[in-house]
Amino acid sequence: MLSHLSAAIPPLYILWIAMAQVGGQEDREKTTALKDLLSRIDLDELMKKDEPPFTFPKTLEEFEYAFNEYGQLRHIKTGKPFVFNAREDLHRWNQKRYEALGEIITQYVYELLEKKCNMTKAILPVDAAEDEPTSFIYLSPDALSNPSKLLVLIQGSGVVRAGQWARRLIINQDLDSGTQIPFINRAMEEGYGVMVLNPNENYLEVEKPAKFSPLPSPTEPSDEPAEKRERKDDKEGKKKREFYEKYRNPQKETETERIPIRMNQREMQVKNRVCAVALTDSAHNIWLQETSKSTQDWMQQHCCNWVSSPEPLDTPLDPMLPDCPRVSAGTERHELTSWMSFTSIFRFFGEVLEAKEDEEAEETSNTVTTRSSSLKNKHQDL
């Protein structure tokens, strides 16, 4: 039996090698055919036939959408919510249309900050040179003069800008859940100065100039050695494939470079002046960011993270890292955590401020008592 098996193994082994060899030959033939096909394709014509041009409205009115009295985005004719798939089987076109609407939403929220919240735009750095890249933040009238408390709002990473929590919520749900405006209004009602930061605009992104090199015609006569010509054909074929991939994949459509906007790092000033930090499903990592032990201790004492969880709102959760307490935001959707924890966050701030005021009052009382005792002793000495 064993002898029969051993005799059967070598032919089986050779059969797999033969299949691999045939497969390799087929791959080479397919590559040659692909190169030939790519050399015949007019990509410009293909792009025209494959999808409509990326020309989209510049205003909400041109998009035929508006926010109703409940802050919901609705079509002005049908009254229906925004539809992403406006054209079937044109995902990239739909995505570009959505991004164009998102840019309009960003400007719309800026207008709300200025007109509805009475905030002003401040350019950063404050001492920027004439040709230096700049960013901006928004300030309430008393943001830099409020004697007691200042609320600083910082959105998460991504495409969102100042005043936004989540573009998806603004478009698909409402302004209250997707913007920071309810937080701003509540803070102003409670006597806070308000500062709205814009950390996703800490660099200027510019498009690199396109580099086009003419591709030789496959019918051109050439005196180059066959091996060198084959390598060149492979290189040109790769260029065409990369160009086609950039066309198909919106993330690779253009090449850009980022020019950083000058910012300051003031860790000690932050620790000394910030009394409470509310995080909402924060993606920070104290190990990757090499957070010092003193900063970890500071976070334990001053921070609380409302994270996405199926547990009821404010339910304490096991800590993932030794940085700060974690509680449930009462939702499993990341983008909703800020809105769902709205009331809890202001309660948290209120408790911290009350404790701080009690502590300062006690220190003042002790100082007065000590000074009174000192004066009494001096009087007795006299």
The pLDDT tens digits of the residues spanning 33-53 come to 676 666 665 555 554 446 788
Count of positions (residues) in the chain? 382
Tokens 């990341």 belong to 334
Q: Which residues span the domain enclosing 351?
A: 270-382
Query: Distance of CA 205 to CAs 169, 239, 264, Å?
Result: 26, 25, 20
- Comparing C-alpha atoms, which of 335, 337, 316 is closest to residue 327? 316
d(CA 148, CA 337): 28
Model pLDDT, residue 74: 97
Domains in the chain: how many in total? Answer: 1
| CA distance linking residue 67 with residue 170, whole number of Å | 10
pLDDT in tens, 95-144: 999 999 999 999 999 999 999 999 999 999 999 998 899 999 999 999 99
Distance, in Å, from the CA atom of 126 to the CA atom of 137, rounded to the nearest integer, reads 11
For residue 198, pLDDT over 50 is answered with yes
Mean pLDDT is highest, among 70-74, 231-235, 378-382, for 70-74
- Contact predicate 315/289, CB 8 Å: no
Highest mean pLDDT among 45-59, 257-271, 349-363: 349-363
How far is residue 151's CA from residue 274's CA, in Å, rounded to a whole number?
A: 10
- Say if strands 120-124 and 150-153 run parallel, antiparallel, or are unpaired: unpaired
d(CA 172, CA 140): 28
Q: Is residue 318 part of a domain?
A: yes
| Position 300 in a domain | yes
| Mean pLDDT lowest among 220-229, 236-245, 299-308 | 220-229
Q: Is 279 part of any domain?
A: yes
* Peptide bond preceding 199 in cis form (omega within 30 of 0): no
Distance CA 210, CA 265 (A): 36
Q: Is residue 72 part of a domain?
A: no
Residues 174-196 as b or e (16 or more Cβ within 10 Å = b): bbbbbbbbbbbebbbeeebbbbb
Q: Residue for token digits 């009254």? A: 79
- Would residue 370 count as lying in a domain? yes
Look at residue 365 and tell me if it is in a domain. Answer: yes
Strand partners, 136: 123
Q: How far is CA 283 from CA 228, 308, 348, in A?
A: 50, 11, 21
The per-residue pLDDT for range 167-188, each reduced to its tens digit, is 999 999 999 999 999 999 999 9
331 lies in some domain: yes
Domain assignment present for 219: no
Residue 204 parent element (H or E): strand 203-207
